């Protein structure tokens, strides 16, 4: 188990989290001060909570168990609670098994591509967070309700899910030309969904169709 100490959870970037998972970490636990009790008056723990809830949804979307990423809040005086939380999280990760394999993703290359596709989107996702996903509630329950609600679903599909699919398509086409069916098998979307993203990418001149190979390739 690895421990990284920072002065404020607000300084934890999604890139740090994704780097840990990309290097084979099976779970990431972020522990911060209680909501409403920020020592630096920056509300960094609220920012960290927003980030975690967004990326838990992204993990779920790409086929990874969102329980592998967790955030907990406690004071510096609650050593017993910290030990309890860590032990609980470690037991949960052991129950889930190794990253990817625990979800039935046996191909390590496929897992790497999924995480790389998300990592490439981090700068864009920061903008989405700042402009559309910075609600400020008082309680953890209110945040959880927002991220489980219809408004968030709409924003996620419009601004995240489609971009993520295209990011994955661009990555696998860097390796070799592929048919719609082959892309579908690689990223877990239906052929019709893949066709929609390919048509959109072709209009932006990101991909093109090679008639002789009957495959799509990067433009």
pLDDT in tens for each of the 219 residues of the chain? Answer: 555 556 688 888 999 999 999 999 999 999 888 888 877 767 788 989 999 999 999 999 999 999 999 999 988 788 899 899 999 999 999 999 999 999 999 889 889 999 999 999 999 999 999 888 888 888 999 999 999 999 999 999 999 999 999 999 999 999 999 999 999 988 888 999 999 999 999 999 999 999 999 999 999
pTM of the model: 0.91
CA distances from 56 to 143, 182, 196 (A): 13, 27, 26
Alpha-carbon distance of 51 to 134, in angstroms, equals 9
What residues does each domain of the chain span? 9-175
pLDDT value of position 77:
84
Residues, the chain: 219
pLDDT value of position 1:
52
pLDDT value of position 116:
96
Backbone angles phi, psi at 190, to 5 degrees: -70, 155
pLDDT value of position 8:
82
Segments of the chain assigned E as strands: 28-32, 69-73, 207-210, 215-218
In DSSP terms, 30 is beta-bridged to: 71
Please measure the distance between the N-terminal and C-terminal CA atoms of the chain and give it in whole angstroms: 43
SS3 178: strand
pLDDT value of position 39:
74
Closest CA to 10 of 44, 49, 52, 46: 44
């Amino acid at each position: 188990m690895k421990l990284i100490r920072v002065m404020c959870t607000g300084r934890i970037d999604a890139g740090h989290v994704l780097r840990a998972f990309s290097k084979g970490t099976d779970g990431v636990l972020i522990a911060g001060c209680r909501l409403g009790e920020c020592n630096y008056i920056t509300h960094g723990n609220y920012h960290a909570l927003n980030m975690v809830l967004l990326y838990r949804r992204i993990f779920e979307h790409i086929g990874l168990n969102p329980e592998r990423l967790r955030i907990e809040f406690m004071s510096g005086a609650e050593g017993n609670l910290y030990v309890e939380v860590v032990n609980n999280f470690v037991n949960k990760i052991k129950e889930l098994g190794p990253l990817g394999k625990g979800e039935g993703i046996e191909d390590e290359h496929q897992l790497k591509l999924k995480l790389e596709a998300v990592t490439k989107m981090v700068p864009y996702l920061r903008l989405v967070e700042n402009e559309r996903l910075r609600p400020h509630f008082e309680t953890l329950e209110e945040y959880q309700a927002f991220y489980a609600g219809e408004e968030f679903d709409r924003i996620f599909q419009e601004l995240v899910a489609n971009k993520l699919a295209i990011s994955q398509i661009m990555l696998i086409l860097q390796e070799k030309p592929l048919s719609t069916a082959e892309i579908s098998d690689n990223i877990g979307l239906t052929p019709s969904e893949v066709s929609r993203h390919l048509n959109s990418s072709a209009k932006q001149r990101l991909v093109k169709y090679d008639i002789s190979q009957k495959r799509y390739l990067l433009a």
